[in-house]
Amino acid sequence: MIRDYMDYRPPPEVLAKMELIRLPADRRGFRLDITAPRIRAALDEWKREQHIPIGDPLSDGERKDFELWYMITRRERGF
């Protein structure tokens, strides 16, 4: 239990989810535009890490995983 609430530091996943929720969603509920060059480059990097062929489309679950990964990575790398 946290004795002093001022000492609490949320983990990066929680901060990323909070940022992601604040972004406007498209009609399918996705928040990032994967056609933007910076996000497309990050998507290709993520696909390589996950061993997903670059040309294959993402499932809805993979897309949500990528969006969360992007927000966490963006905070860490500062891009």
* pLDDT of 47 above 90: yes
Distance between start and end Cα atoms, the chain: 34
The per-residue pLDDT for range 15-35, each reduced to its tens digit, is: 889 999 999 998 988 999 999
Map 8-58 to HEC letters: CCCCHHHHHHHHHHHCCCCCCCCCCCCCCHHHHHHHHHHHHHHCCCCCCCC
Q: What is the spatial distance between Cα 68 and Cα 73, in angstroms, rounded to a whole number?
A: 9
69 in Cβ contact with 47 (< 8 Å): no
Q: pTM (2 decimals)?
A: 0.81
pLDDT band at 1 (very low <50, low <70, confident <90, very high): low
